[in-house]
Structure 1
């Protein structure tokens, strides 16, 4: 053992020690109430410092595998009295992290069989860790909190490599679009906890000052443009205020297409010559370059519209329910409405879910955690402490269950699209195809390529692929 260990790095030696300890305890080779080897012996065997060995033992103690007696050593705990420890990786930044963390604390206080530890994981690290089974540092999480857009990217090729299929008793209580957002090949791979529709948010004070009627879901795009034109103020070459702000984010621009009845796929044909699709995207471009009621597309700042709105430099933006939490310090009146368009009952939404890692060995316990987060109690808590909408229908639509005050009086506007909202997984494109479309549209937003050119480029590219 020592000869093999000597050829490894510190991180590898530390991981080998943890594996060794876990194997001895879980196999029963070290039965309950047995003293494990002394720190000095383990340090010498695995060529680690005593503080490193102590850290490893601390991890075992936190997992309930051992207990330490001061001055005597560490004893193996009885597995029947030992709670199952699950690690939950949650992506950050996330508006929902704090609320979910508080729910997990509640769960841990009321449970004796299961203990959940949350691991805040930067989005970039989560994506990088996917290649290693979502391993975060020395920990391979059992549960993974994930946005539907990240899920779409991860599961594009071999979804079973990442998540275990779920069988949930509460699935019938959840909104269908939310379930679809995390379903691949008819397998539910993550449970939707919340969803956040994209809506038109407007500054009521600006409309009042201009003497204009507030936006309405029944508006035509001509009426939207007329209001945006009236609210745009130029002072020479300087723009004092814009009427609307377009976002080039793939979490925003698809709403134009959906509200106009456009599609990205029809049958086996990708990017069909659908007038409604190109008309919608061209309208978005014209808001910037032809009508000049929106700032010019910024390649490196997808949140430009939200920033301008908070600074009272734009009257209307498209944003998600989640971003409404940023409105806590604003002093002007605002409201939200379904983005107008030809299709009255559709919309675009984001969602947050939680899945069981394919490496998780305690599936029953992990499923119990998910069912708790989907329970009436937990869903009511998420509704009250965050601006997103619970995925559980009865809680989301229950007026007696208070919603977050920052979500405003228009919170229940989501009901107009709850059954027919779409997420990125509904577009009929693979993640690679959608990414390619999003990149090529960047040329359109920058006004250096036409939609016909983009369509032609992508069709040629996809036709040549096997």
Structure 2
């Protein structure tokens, strides 16, 4: 199977060309009086014809961003009016998750008097950094995913965000992620459950049936054993200590503590069983790569694309890595812990909020409303594999030639199985402590009894308070 990137469509290349120049002009990378490179050089750089480059430049002329001077070139113009600046804090992954730069460029096109200034926040401390920036008046808009908003609310900082009016047309479960005490603090932009993604060709070559909704984790392990034997490679991977992966098992079992025979805290039998199954999977190094244990999310995709593994646990956001590849893949619901058990999976929703102390509050509101609007949501559906938060646009049939899985719309039947981290009943801080304990356990620095005691103690301590 050829895994080389496929050619982007003409429309995508032209849009990228125009968006890049527009962003460079608005951000000051290209200053008033600067000349653009020659049309022939732009054509080569962006893989377009000279005619297409001229067409794109004509649009920038109409927007008043450049002026064409015959036999001289294209010069950047000074803005006719001072643009309103919107400082936007976001996770860098949003460029991949739903082509944030395309959305910002479209907002600029529709609102030429506004200028969005993106500021990438570090993923590992984005909540604390975002809170600090908002308190210091340095952000007008901030993007948050569902767990980050939960953490922000648990810090008592939800009131730093402006209350928003309900927006009709969005999936209700998406707006629920950003509601606190009956107040909506962010508009959802995109959502995704954690799902099983698999290489169809690998299953066909091994003579195995493809995953289905009846699979248990034992079924996955059994199929992985056969795939590994047939292919001589590992079969399944995901970052074991990811809060968006191990928590799925805890959601499926329920997170409850118990008291052992000596009166000490431990995990309930049901919760302990979920971690036992999880450990049987990630510690089986015939099927699960040992050297990858504890690594970051971005290492999952290269393993899958290169054929080193046949199955991954992932989100629709990460499927954007495949959208221009010739890769025969599909999706299935996550397996369950036991046969006939109701399915449960984690839902991750990404939204945007207005800082309550923004000096450009109405402009910030307009930008956030745009991200949840029909225009922006349609762009997400047409140009990415992510799921828009607006129902009508999410379920439309898009054009284009992106490599989407045949079961893309599977998520529509799974809404009753979607849960957030908050449904575990413990704060995000406790989940982060779980992650550290699990890393210690998988590194043989803690035995099973100590792990269960530590986790049970954290649950009991929180719920006693």
Instruction: Give the TM-score taking structure 2 as reference length.
Output: 0.71
Which residue number corresponds to residue 122 of structure 2?
123
Pairing 1:320–2:315 present:
yes
Q: What is the alpha-carbon distance in structure 2 between the residues aligned to residue 389 and residue 98 of structure 1?
A: 9
Q: Is the 8 A contact 2:266 2:454 kept in 1?
A: no
Q: Is the 8 A contact 1:192 1:391 kept in 2?
A: yes
Shift of 1:194: 0.2
Which residue number corresponds to residue 47 of structure 1?
none
Q: What is the alpha-carbon distance in structure 1 between the residues aligned to residue 158 and residue 206 of structure 2?
A: 55
Unaligned runs of 5+ in 1: 1-54, 59-76
Which residue number corresponds to residue 201 of structure 2?
205
* SS of aligned partner of 2:94: coil
Which residue number corresponds to residue 73 of structure 1?
none
Which residue number corresponds to residue 148 of structure 2?
150
Q: Is the 8 A contact 2:88 2:139 kept in 1?
A: yes
Q: Is the 8 A contact 1:133 1:162 kept in 2?
A: no
Q: Is the 8 A contact 1:160 1:358 kept in 2?
A: no
* SS of aligned partner of 1:149: helix
Which residue number corresponds to residue 181 of structure 1?
177
Of 452, 455, 461, the residue aligned with 2:452 is 455
CA shift digits 1:24-78 (9 cap, x unpaired): xxxxxxxxxxxxxxxxxxxxxxxxxxxxxxx9xx9xxxxxxxxxxxxxxxxxx99
Pairing 1:278–2:272 present:
yes
Of 230, 234, 255, the residue aligned with 1:242 is 234
Which residue number corresponds to residue 37 of structure 1?
none
Pairing 1:418–2:415 present:
yes
Of 381, 395, 400, the residue aligned with 1:397 is 395
Q: What is the alpha-carbon distance in structure 2 between the residues aligned to residue 272 and residue 167 of structure 1?
A: 44
Q: What is the alpha-carbon distance in structure 1 between the residues aligned to residue 365 and residue 319 of structure 2?
A: 31
Q: What is the alpha-carbon distance in structure 1 between the residues aligned to residue 306 and residue 381 of structure 2?
A: 27
Of 235, 251, 270, the residue aligned with 2:244 is 251
* SS of aligned partner of 1:233: helix
Q: Is the 8 A contact 2:325 2:403 kept in 1?
A: no
Q: What is the alpha-carbon distance in structure 1 between the residues aligned to residue 432 and residue 181 of structure 2?
A: 20
CA shift digits 1:112-162 (9 cap, x unpaired): 6x51413131425845633533489xx712111233333333332112354
Cα distance, 1:246–1:285 mapped onto 2, change above 3 Å:
farther
Q: What is the alpha-carbon distance in structure 2 between the residues aligned to residue 289 and residue 366 of structure 1?
A: 48
Shift of 1:427: 2.1
Which residue number corresponds to residue 431 of structure 1?
428
* SS of aligned partner of 1:438: helix
Q: What is the alpha-carbon distance in structure 2 between the residues aligned to residue 211 and residue 82 of structure 1?
A: 64
* SS of aligned partner of 1:406: coil
Pairing 1:334–2:329 present:
yes
Q: What is the alpha-carbon distance in structure 2 between the residues aligned to residue 175 and residue 438 of structure 1?
A: 30
Instruction: Give the TM-score taking structure 1 as reference length.
Output: 0.71
Of 232, 252, 264, the residue aligned with 2:255 is 264
Alignment of 1:351-362 (within 5 A): 351-362=349-360
Cα distance, 1:160–1:320 mapped onto 2, change above 3 Å:
closer
Cα distance, 1:455–1:184 mapped onto 2, change above 3 Å:
farther
* SS of aligned partner of 2:249: helix
Which residue number corresponds to residue 216 of structure 2?
220
Shift of 1:286: 0.7
Q: What is the alpha-carbon distance in structure 2 between the residues aligned to residue 94 and residue 103 of structure 1?
A: 11
Higher relative contact order (CA 8 A, sep 6+): 2
Shift of 1:97: 7.0
Q: What is the alpha-carbon distance in structure 2 between the residues aligned to residue 265 and residue 173 of structure 1?
A: 36
RMSD between aligned residues: 3.4
Cα distance, 1:163–1:272 mapped onto 2, change above 3 Å:
farther
Alignment of 1:288-299 (within 5 A): 288-289=282-283, 292-296=286-290, 298-299=293-294
Which residue number corresponds to residue 51 of structure 1?
none
Shift of 1:285: 0.7
Of 403, 408, 421, the residue aligned with 2:405 is 408
Shift of 1:92: 0.9
Unaligned runs of 5+ in 2: 1-27, 32-78, 258-264
Q: What is the alpha-carbon distance in structure 2 between the residues aligned to residue 159 and residue 451 of structure 1?
A: 36
Which residue number corresponds to residue 48 of structure 2?
none
Q: What is the alpha-carbon distance in structure 2 between the residues aligned to residue 323 and residue 240 of structure 1?
A: 26
Q: Is the 8 A contact 1:380 1:395 kept in 2?
A: yes
Larger radius of gyration: 1
